[in-house]
Amino acid sequence: MDTVPRPFAASPRLPRRLLAADPGWQLQADVCVVGSGIAGLCAALHAREAGLSVIVVTKVNIDDGSTRWAQGGIAAVLAPTDTPEAHAEDTAVAGVGLCDPAAVDVLVREGPARVRELIAFGAEFDRNPDGSLMLTREGGHHADRIIHAGGDATGAEVQRALHTAVHRDPGIQLLEHALVLDLLTDAAGRAAGITLHVLGEGSEDGVGAVLARAVVLATGGMGQIYASTTNPSVSTGDGVALALRAGATVTDVEFVQFHPTALYLGADAQLGQQPLVSEAMRGEGAYLIDAAGERFMVGQHELAELAPRDVVAKAITRVMNTQRVDHVYLDARHLGAAKLEARFPSILARCRQAGIDPVTQPIPVAPAAHYASGGVRTDLHGRTSVPGLYACGEVACTGVHGANRLASNSLLEGLVFAGRIGADLARDLPPQAEPAPCEDQPAWVVSSTTRDDLTRAMTRGAGVIRSASSLAETAEELEKLGTRTSADPRPVNWEATNLHTVATALVSAAARREETRGCHWREDFGEASDAWRGHLLAAISPAGELTEAYEAMA
Ligand SMILES: Cc1cc2nc3c(=O)[nH]c(=O)nc-3n(C[C@H](O)[C@H](O)[C@H](O)COP(=O)(O)OP(=O)(O)OC[C@H]3O[C@@H](n4cnc5c(N)ncnc54)[C@H](O)[C@@H]3O)c2cc1C
């Protein structure tokens, strides 16, 4: 491992704690859940089944995470003709040799019961006239096993149902507009709660603490480390950064799935979340063209525009790089007004709102960061390497996705592993311990003025297509940005610090992984290599150094 050159001149120094005031107020519960998407709310409901009191802390409003945006659906073996083995096989193919077979086995075998539980929590999915669940198929699945709600509004329905179930339970306290900062641990290193900031709460600066016998991280994805993403604004990688600062192990962070066709809103458009132009439009016959009107997917892959997401994203990026443009076009004009209006009303409405009419104009599109396959490493019970700290949902790396996520497996993963955490909490929860002082840990914040430079650098050098030189340039930029610290501990700077920590870990891993596998594309190492059939693990040492190790698959 040490023979592989590092992209950073020296081991990057990262904070072990966010600079913040001492907690001026305090709450207590058996379990503190951080995040209120599918993973967090399910973990909270399962902890309640175990008779535990719960505080759910969420950065903005309860439904501001990615869950509400999920369109396609949830994959689970529900058809009599389908089998867990077939679902496992499709998952493993997408993960290109890096899925953990035991985690995948848990996912596919426990998934159907967890979906029924979600229905019992109140979620309503689309049904056939005979009352059975309507099942469809998505890319990479060899059976009809995707349930959906309201056509393409699955996530919104899941979020609505869980929100209602959580509100009904007086044993769950919800703290909204509460940004979690760092983990508190006791003298033995076990999680004892978190510090957080709630605007206007307690002392003037709003920093407080939630003491708990266990902490569940369910903070979602990290798409906001890129200039363009399908993820909402809360997806700044806070959970991964917090876990790294707490000394937990993080893995597979180099595997970021990019969606090929996010709506391009113009060079002056705000960075951050961009609307999706669904694959279904290409499925209906829309094709990709460059600025000269030439189709470029034909001849690149036998399925042309319907090639796997990564292949299409890479081809678009190549055209953008060669022609020095920042988008290409999806041409759907030949489908006709009637079909477009009937089949894609919401996409048409969003495009027209942006001044583009897909009936008469090609739609400008560009790839955007979509899903983090890696994250905080957990075992099959959602336990991280820090005792008492759990993780589930997109923030976690349970091992089910490997080098790439199979469509609609992420909501399922959140459901299944949140349930397993609930069962573990019921088994094994020591009494509340006193948090140990942490003043001697290196603490600072990076200025929020770095944010646009950071996201642009990440998209340029560590995005869809990477190489040793592009990653080295990005590392250099991150090193410079990391020195732009601020003496002002407040939300925008805390988020900027989290983005910087996660980006640093990602760039380092992407530079080390000298191969192309799953959604990690190296221009200079075009094939998968047996030598890299394993995981890159990262942690921050007590002195604040990013440390890495390689673990070959058994
Ligand atoms: C546009 C889009 C479409 C998708 N379609 C599908 C699909 O069809 N099927 C599928 O399986 N997956 C899909 N995905 C992926 C899937 O939606 C997510 O992986 C999943 O919803 C993640 O759930 P989660 O509970 O882990 O996180 P989220 O739902 O993102 O929730 C994270 C929560 O953590 C909170 N949080 C974050 N940081 C902090 C902090 N510092 N302090 C306090 N709270 C914090 C957030 O506010 C939020 O409440 C899609 C994603 C997107 C963006």
For the segment 432-437, the average pLDDT, to the nearest whole number, is: 93
Cα 329 to Cα 338, 339, 473: the distances in Å are 21, 19, 29
How many residues appear in the chain? 554
For the segment 531-543, the average pLDDT, to the nearest whole number, is: 94
Q: Residue 223 CA: which ligand 1 atom is closest?
A: 53
Nearest CA among 419, 380, 430, 431 for reference residue 50: 419
What is the rounded end-to-end Cα distance, in angstroms, of the chain? 17
Atom 51, ligand 1: residue with shortest CA distance: 70
C-alpha 438 – ligand 1 centre gap (Å): 30
**pLDDT value at 151 more than 90:** no
Q: Residue 394 CA: which ligand 1 atom is closest?
A: 26
C-alpha 554 – ligand 1 centre gap (Å): 31
Q: Which of 134-143, 320-329, 444-453, 512-521 has the lowest mean pLDDT?
A: 134-143
Q: What is the pLDDT of residue 346?
A: 81
- How far apart are the C-alpha atoms of 400 and 389, rounded to whole Å? 20
Q: What is the pLDDT of residue 440?
A: 78
Phi, psi dihedrals of residue 136, rounded to the nearest 5°: -120, 180
Mean pLDDT, all residues of the chain? 93
Q: What is the pLDDT of residue 202?
A: 56
**pLDDT value at 95 more than 60:** yes
Q: What is the pLDDT of residue 139?
A: 79
Which residue in the block uniquely carries the two structure tokens 């920590």? 501
Q: How confident is the model at residue 2 (pLDDT cuts 50, 70, 90)?
A: very low
Q: Which residues contact 129 (CB under 8 A, 6 or more apart)?
A: none
Q: Which residues line ligand 1 (CB under 6 A)?
A: 34-40, 57-60, 64-67, 69-74, 154-155, 178-180, 218-221, 230-231, 234-235, 238, 276, 371, 393-395, 408-411, 414
C-alpha 402 – ligand 1 centre gap (Å): 19
- How far apart are the C-alpha atoms of 99 and 400, rounded to whole Å? 5
Q: How confident is the model at residue 438 (pLDDT cuts 50, 70, 90)?
A: confident
Model confidence pLDDT, tens digit, residues 353-376 = 999 999 999 999 999 999 999 999
Q: Which of 342-346, 462-466, 488-492 has the lowest mean pLDDT?
A: 342-346
Q: What is the pLDDT of residue 152?
A: 78
**pLDDT value at 5 more than 60:** no
Q: How confident is the model at residue 278 (pLDDT cuts 50, 70, 90)?
A: confident
Q: How far is C-alpha 554 from the geometric centre of its chain's CA atoms? A: 26
C-alpha 174 – ligand 1 centre gap (Å): 18
Highest mean pLDDT: which range of 183-197, 269-283, 429-443: 183-197
Q: What is the pLDDT of residue 199?
A: 74
Atom 50, ligand 1: residue with shortest CA distance: 70
C-alpha 221 – ligand 1 centre gap (Å): 6
Q: Residue 370 CA: which ligand 1 atom is closest?
A: 53
Q: What is the pLDDT of residue 201?
A: 61
- Give one word for 467, left, alpha or beta, with left for phi > 0 and alpha for psi -120 to 50: beta
For the segment 120-134, the average pLDDT, to the nearest whole number, is: 95
Atom 8, ligand 1: residue with shortest CA distance: 72
For the segment 171-181, the average pLDDT, to the nearest whole number, is: 96
**pLDDT value at 457 more than 60:** yes
Q: What is the pLDDT of residue 554?
A: 85
- How far apart are the C-alpha atoms of 513 and 253, rounded to whole Å? 11
Q: What is the pLDDT of residue 283?
A: 83
Q: What is the pLDDT of residue 478?
A: 97
**List 213, 245, 282, 309, catalytic entry:** 309
Beta strands in 23-105 (DSSP E): 26-34, 54-57, 74-75
Q: Residue 498 CA: which ligand 1 atom is closest?
A: 41
- Verdict on whether the full-model pTM lies above 0.85: yes
Q: Residue 58 CA: which ligand 1 atom is closest?
A: 44
Model confidence pLDDT, tens digit, residues 379-423 = 999 999 999 999 999 999 999 999 999 989 999 999 999 999 999
Pocket test for ligand 1, best of 118, 125, 197, 234 (most atoms within 8 A of CB): 234
**pLDDT value at 471 more than 50:** yes
Q: What is the pLDDT of residue 203?
A: 52
Q: How confident is the model at residue 3 (pLDDT cuts 50, 70, 90)?
A: very low
**420 membership: H or E segment, kind and range:** helix 409-427
Judge whether 540 and 522 are in contact, CB under 8 Å: no
Q: What is the pLDDT of residue 1?
A: 43
C-alpha 371 – ligand 1 centre gap (Å): 9
For the segment 115-127, the average pLDDT, to the nearest whole number, is: 96
C-alpha 396 – ligand 1 centre gap (Å): 12
**479 membership: H or E segment, kind and range:** helix 468-482
Q: What is the pLDDT of residue 140?
A: 84
For 352-367, give the DSSP string.
HHTT--TTTSPEEEEE
Q: What is the pLDDT of residue 205?
A: 63
Q: Residue 219 CA: which ligand 1 atom is closest?
A: 34
Q: What is the pLDDT of residue 11?
A: 77
Q: How confident is the model at residue 80 (pLDDT cuts 50, 70, 90)?
A: very high
- How far apart are the C-alpha atoms of 217 and 215, rounded to whole Å? 6
**Known catalytic residue at 309:** yes
Pocket test for ligand 1, best of 219, 261, 392, 415 (most atoms within 8 A of CB): 219
Q: What is the pLDDT of residue 288?
A: 97
C-alpha 220 – ligand 1 centre gap (Å): 4
Model confidence pLDDT, tens digit, residues 31-60 = 999 999 999 999 999 999 999 999 999 999
Q: What is the pLDDT of residue 372?
A: 98
